[in-house]
Amino acid sequence: MRGDDEMLSKFKINLIFLLCMLSLVSIGFSSWSITLDAINVDANISVDNVIDLRTYVTKNLSKGDSKNGINTLQYNSYGFVLDDTISYTGQMKYYLLFKIEDFYNDFYQYDYVNLSFVLSYGTNCDSNILINYVSEVSVGYLFGTNENYTITPTLFNSSSIKNDKKITTNISLYEFDRKTYMDSYTGQILYLEITYEFTTSSNDYSNLYSDLIGKNINFTFNVFIEGCDSNEV
């Protein structure tokens, strides 16, 4: 029945990772890193209820730089630094875990979920050029119970929309709907890796570097979870 429950046919939970207003921190061999160690979490649903989304989605603290759930974007005056190698391609990665079974148990009216990841500049960002250099966003996943997994995640079929201020990446968990999950993955956590790849050229990197050096770089990373009814497909 739809009726009054129709307003619950879809909702969006907004997980807001306010990723830092941080100065650039010197590390290693004359390289710099845009670090993301200040995180606030908020969540709400559209029916005036407030829930703590950390019940379902959190950083995977077994992964990332210093086990903080994030691989930072590193660079120096010569280029990006990736795996201790200087090139014109850099990466920033977020590691998340999604307790999808708890979600399905608590929100039994939904058959599957869609996820959106939004990377945007913070309110006090001194530069608005870096997102222009995002060349690819990939979302990897695997099911399991070991947060410090070593298996290479499988890539979702994702789509991204980018403008000068933000980049939004969408995936659907339709293939892991409630029935499929309960039949095949009960008791397992969904691990997610969201990777942002930055690409430039030797001619353009000097412009990028001069725009970043000595400035505060602020990002906001949002995760939206949309509960869906299979009848709406």
pLDDT at position 12 is: 52
Q: Which residue from 130, 118, 95 is spatially nearest to 171, judged by alpha carbons?
A: 118
Tokens of 46: 């559209």
Tokens of 60: 């995977």
Laid out side by side, the sheet with 112-121 consists of: 11-22, 217-228, 112-121, 166-172, 159-162
pLDDT of 34 > 60? The answer is no
Task: Return the number of other C-beta atoms located less than 10 Å from residue 136's C-beta.
Answer: 12
Tens digit of each residue's pLDDT (9 = 90 or more) over 129-148: 899 999 999 999 999 999 99
> Three-class SS of residue 178?
helix
Q: Full-prediction pTM beyond 0.85? A: no
pLDDT at position 10 is: 53
Give the Å distances, CA to CA, from 88 to 32, 81, 93, 151, 229.
15, 8, 17, 27, 43
Tens digit of each residue's pLDDT (9 = 90 or more) over 76-128: 889 999 888 999 999 999 999 999 999 888 888 888 988 888 888 877 778 88
Tens digit of each residue's pLDDT (9 = 90 or more) over 205-221: 999 998 888 887 777 88
pLDDT of 197 > 60? The answer is yes
Contact (Cβ atoms closer than 8 angstroms) between residue 118 and residue 18: no
Q: Which residue from 210, 193, 187, 216 is spatially nearest to 38, judged by alpha carbons?
A: 216
